[in-house]
Amino acid sequence: MKKSYFSLLVLFIATLASCSNDKKLPIFGEREAKIIKGADGIDRIDTVYQTIPNFSFLNQDSTVLTQDAFKGKIYVADFFFTSCTTICPTMHRNLKTVYDDYKTNPDVMFLSHTIDFKYDKPSVLKKYAEKLGVDVAKWQFVYGSKDQVYPLAEKSYLVAVGEDNQSPDGYMHQGWLILIDKQKRMRGAYDGTKAEQVEQLKKDILILLAEEK
Amino acid sequence: MRKNIILAIFLTVISAIIYACQNASEIELSTYISNGKDIYRANCQNCHGENGEGLGELAPPLTDSVFLEKNKSKLACYIKNGTDQPMTINGKTYQGKMPAFPKLQTIDIAQVTVYITNAFGNKQGMYKYEQVAKDLQECK
């Protein structure tokens, strides 16, 4: 009797250990099964995941930024605007601690999109980046038209954004920090206004980096 | 003998009154501070931080006691109407814009100012509602 308890316990611990060893982050978004013909002529079912489509924005230096900048890197994306007085300062205060942790790791980047297409031109973003203390290639601040940015936020990154006459700042948006892997898939979403979720993001970046080595 | 007893009673009463008065003003101060903390969390902390540390060069820290003391009469106006004046705080110049908080009432401004000027290493005591009302009339 005692022996069986012991073996159960061993099994339990082994299961736990194996779980933590190959921990993987979930893959978010839509997915579809696709039948692909292999080289040997046999049909195989492959899963196609939702990815971030190509984009072309102006960054804080007024140069064009596309997905080429993120090739072979993982990145954290968010949506904000410079005159925001509600959640953005907290989001970027927290995101900056993530930036500080991964400052020296060339495989991690940051991408902040402004949703204020009227005011946040590249020169405004530049000033903002300088004042936040992160005017570097690693953290890109990008400007795009409403037609470019809003559908990308809502359909691809699954972050709600919009103009809002009711709010004093003129816009509303969610404070998600979205973790994107090297294959442009969404691997995590963290509330940038909550310190404990941002801590989770820091840990998940490590897991994602290990996974994609 | 009787004189002495009367004197003793008199002194006790007087000191009790003084003690009660001091206590009342201490209670008022701590009420201001605890209400001010809630107002700070709801309106100021986003930019100025949980510990008044500020945010890069976007928002100045609230730890410069000398600045706060010197500009105390202007603080209410900064909060109520916002400001885009450059300010030198802890030896660094900040040029950002601070938004207005027109919704905050005079008593709210008094309480949040008392909180700020008695937290983050500041210790400047009371700043009364009546004084804030006066200062607000002098806004430029």
Q: Are A51 and A185 in contact (CB under 8 A)?
A: yes
Percent share of chain A, pLDDT over 70: 89
CB contact under 8 A, A128 and B47: no
Chain B hits for A100, Cβ within 8 Å: none
Res A16: pLDDT: 58
Q: Measure the CA–CA gap between A105 and B95, rounded to whole angstroms.
A: 32
Q: Which domains does chain A have, with CATH numbers?
A: 51-211 (3.40.30.10)
* ipTM for the whole complex: 0.74
Across the interface, whether the CB atoms of A131 and B46 are under 8 A apart is answered no
Which chain A residues are closer than 8 Å to B57 by Cβ?
A: 130-133
Residues 6+ apart with CB under 8 A from A78: A91, A95, A111, A112, A113, A159, A175, A176, A177, A178, A192
Domain coordinates in residue numbering, chain B: 2-137
User: What percent of chain A clears pLDDT 90, i.e. is strictly above it?
Assistant: 65
pLDDT bin (cut points 50, 70, 90) of residue A172 is confident
pLDDT (tens digit, 9 = 90+) per residue, B93-130?
998 889 999 999 999 999 999 999 999 999 998 998 89
- Put simply, whether B53 touches A (Cβ < 8 Å) is no
CATH fold label, B2-137: Cytochrome Bc1 Complex; Chain D, domain 2 (1.10.760)
The confidence score (pLDDT) of residue B116 equals: 95
A39 has a pLDDT exceeding 80: no
